[in-house]
Amino acid sequence: MVLNNILNLFFPKLCGACSKPIINCVDELCINCEIHLVYESNPNRTKIPKALRGRVEIEKGVFFIDFTKKEGVQQVLHSIKYQNQKKLAIYLSEELTKKLGATFFETIDVMIPVPLHPKKFKIRGFNQADLIATGIHNCFKIPIDTTSLQRKEFTDSQTKKNRLERWKNVQNAFEVKDKTALNKKHILLLDDVFTTGATLEACIKTIQKEVDCTFSILTLARA
């Protein structure tokens, strides 16, 4: 601890969201970002089900951080995606999972992080949705399935696309590798951000074509 504090003087740990030095070297976030991203974030359970109404059936849908409203903290998801902020993603996932509480997870049989194409995984080195799964698993021991659903198509980035383009881009991107593993299960699909929901919709439609199961959705943010 003493060594840590001394090291921290010379090489201060930086906040995962805003990159300002953190004085307390235990956390991944500075106090300001901790307040915005954790303390002030309340699980929103209505907007995802509403956005998917008429498109796919889900049991529950929840996100925590609304980037469509908050200024100044948008950096965090970018950090998680591109600056290898693995610890931050797991930390945020743990903190927000605790806020959501055990009852949300009671009926969930298995978690599936939205898969990345193997090529993209290789470039980035990790899948941010896997880290969210790890955070939840650290709190409630729900099994994580990263093999039954896979990404077969290398899709373009969704960021510059509108809703229709996003849907066309991902509708055939996924395939089910193991039907029996998912049969009759309540699956919690995980992703970092909910934007138009096209990717999650594609996952659900792909699985539902072949397997009898139900779905819920959890993302860290809405953007």
**Chain residues in the site for Zn ion (CB under 5 A):** 15, 17-18, 30, 33
Closest CB to Zn ion among 13 and 120?
13
Cα–Cα distance for residue pair 62/205, rounded to 1 Å: 19
Chain-centroid distance of CA 219 in Å reads 4
Q: Residue 18 CB, nearest distance to Zn ion (Å)?
A: 3
Amino acid at 125: G
What the block records as the tokens of 38 is 């954790």
Chain-centroid distance of CA 200 in Å reads 11
Cα–Cα distance for residue pair 1/180, rounded to 1 Å: 49
What the block records as the tokens of 127 is 């899948």
Q: Residue 73 CB, nearest distance to Zn ion (Å)?
A: 8
Contact 100, 62 (CB under 8 A): yes
Closest CB to Zn ion among 17 and 217?
17
Q: Residue 36 CB, nearest distance to Zn ion (Å)?
A: 8
Q: Residue 115 CB, nearest distance to Zn ion (Å)?
A: 30
Q: Which residue has the tokens 């601890």?
A: 1
Cα–Cα distance for residue pair 27/8, rounded to 1 Å: 12
Q: Residue 17 CB, nearest distance to Zn ion (Å)?
A: 5
Cα–Cα distance for residue pair 11/130, rounded to 1 Å: 29
Contact 87, 13 (CB under 8 A): no
Closest CB to Zn ion among 22 and 193?
22
Closest CB to Zn ion among 22 and 182?
22
Q: Residue 136 CB, nearest distance to Zn ion (Å)?
A: 23
Closest CB to Zn ion among 39 and 154?
39
Nearest to 178 by CA among 218, 202, 146, 139: 146
Closest CB to Zn ion among 32 and 214?
32
